[in-house]
Copies of this chain bind each other. A is one copy, B any other.
Amino acid sequence: MKMVTALCLLSLVTGAALAAAAPRARDLGVPFDGTPGPLNAITDVAGVSVGHVTLLDSSDPKHQVRTGVTAVLPRGRDSGQLPVFGGWFALNGNGEMTGTAWLEESGMLEGPVLLTNTHSVGVVRDAAIAWRVKSGQADASGYWWSLPVVAETWDGYLNDINGFHVRAEHVFAALDGAHGGPVEEGNVGGGTGMICHEFKCGIGTSSRRVTVGDRSYAVGVLVQANYGRRETLRIAGVPIGEHLREHRVYTDAALAGDMGSIIIVVATDAPLLPHQLKRVAKRAALGLARNGSYAGNGSGDLFVAFSTANAEAVRDQPLNAAQFVGNDAIDPILLGAVEATEEAIINAMVAARDLSGQNGRYAIAIPHEALRALLKKYNRLVNR
């Protein structure tokens, strides 16, 4: 256990260093629609904080650890006590997102959204409850229960997923380490071992600034991206996957389908009601589609959206008051969710680094120069 903790700390430091230096998709000249916020990250939505714990251990070649936990706290430190309005959508349900029955029923997301690997959802889920108990968030009346939201993608290509390496303390560390500001992307947290369109992938984020009536709002997206076949990859409409055909992951002809999954978290400070947040969550599918996903059978494409507005409304008194954007005015938010999702996924691919894993497996990151060359070939490269 000591070793893993050490690796976590190491990764956190490395992550911070990377954040300063690493180019993002825009830096490479990929064109995107719309106007991002200052961080171009989910944390452009005030109060949202993100924490990663990255687990890397290569000591046993047959059981290499490449996994982790990512925590998104809608209201930062207040997330345990103060829910947010939320909604969710399953584009293709070959995945797990716990807590959705209550999210759907109540219209509220209580506590953080946690992301990890497929076979560690359980430990993360119970640890999220334990963390709330530890933090004194349990109701003193004794009539208290918690139904955490934990989602996953499958990192079993590189990671020893059946070794169950995620433990409660990792969850606590991700939650306690969550912060605003720039968000680490690529091989970090729950995204550590993830692969996307057969390129190394992981966590990505983006945001849009939108205007509704006379007000300005942020729409932020964070993805744990692990989906897709190489051949259908499009970036900014350019058929990248038709050209970059080398170093594929799914070389076995029997594995003909779309493996992997993507979890998309959409946050906004626009005041939206629960049924409207379900609408927003659905738009993540449209951003995903722009990059070439067809949501294959093997892909668990589950999306959750929440609004940090209405902090008073969610206290669940007999009578509450909430503000909300009218349906007729909601288009900029819907479009912003599409655009930020499209970019967050490409950010995850661009930020990722080559990674080796169990059984001698290896996943390369998308080569930046080849990507730029293709954008140029199709007259889509933005010169910066």
Interface residues of A (CB under 8 A from B): 33, 90-108, 118-127, 129-130, 133, 138, 141-147, 150, 154, 156-157, 161-162, 164, 212-215, 232, 234, 236-239, 252, 254-259, 271, 273-276, 279, 282-283, 285-290, 293-298, 300, 302, 313, 315-332, 334-335, 338, 359, 377-380
Given A156-B145, A232-B33, A294-B286, are A329 and B316 neighbors across the interface (CB < 8 Å)? Answer: yes
Q: Within the complex, which residue of B145, B232, B254 is in contact with A119, where a contact is CB–CB below 8 Å?
A: B145
Please list the 9 inter-chain residue pairs (A to B) with the smallest Cβ-Cβ separation, ordered nearest first: A237-B237, A213-B318, A93-B105, A93-B101, A122-B126, A122-B122, A289-B289, A316-B326, A122-B125
Instruction: Check if A322 sits within 8 Å of B319, measured CB to CB.
Output: no
Closest-by-CB residue of B relative to A127 is: B122
Instruction: Check if A302 sits within 8 Å of B101, measured CB to CB.
Output: yes
Chain B residues with CB below 8 A from A296, complex form: 331, 334-335
- A331–B296 CA distance with the chains assembled, in angstroms: 5
Instruction: Check if B294 sits within 8 Å of A334, measured CB to CB.
Output: yes
Closest-by-CB residue of B relative to A282 is: B91
Given A234-B237, A295-B334, are A156 and B142 neighbors across the interface (CB < 8 Å)? Answer: yes
Instruction: Check if A255 sits within 8 Å of B143, measured CB to CB.
Output: yes
Chain B residues with CB below 8 A from A213, complex form: 317-319
Instruction: Check if A126 sits within 8 Å of B119, measured CB to CB.
Output: yes
- A56–B106 CA distance with the chains assembled, in angstroms: 33
Chain B residues with CB below 8 A from A335, complex form: 232, 294, 296
Chain B residues with CB below 8 A from A123, complex form: 122-123, 126
Q: Within the complex, which residue of B108, B127, B258 is in contact with A327, where a contact is CB–CB below 8 Å?
A: B108
Chain B residues with CB below 8 A from A315, complex form: 326
Question: How many whole Å from A376's CB to the nearest CB in chain B?
Answer: 10
Supply 7 A–B pairs (Cβ within 8 Å), ascending by A: A90-B105, A92-B279, A93-B103, A138-B162, A141-B255, A213-B319, A378-B378
Question: How many whole Å from A269's CB to the nearest CB in chain B?
Answer: 13
Question: How many whole Å from A212's CB to the nearest CB in chain B?
Answer: 5
Question: How many whole Å from A250's CB to the nearest CB in chain B?
Answer: 9
Given A106-B327, A143-B156, A286-B293, are A90 and B101 neighbors across the interface (CB < 8 Å)? Answer: yes
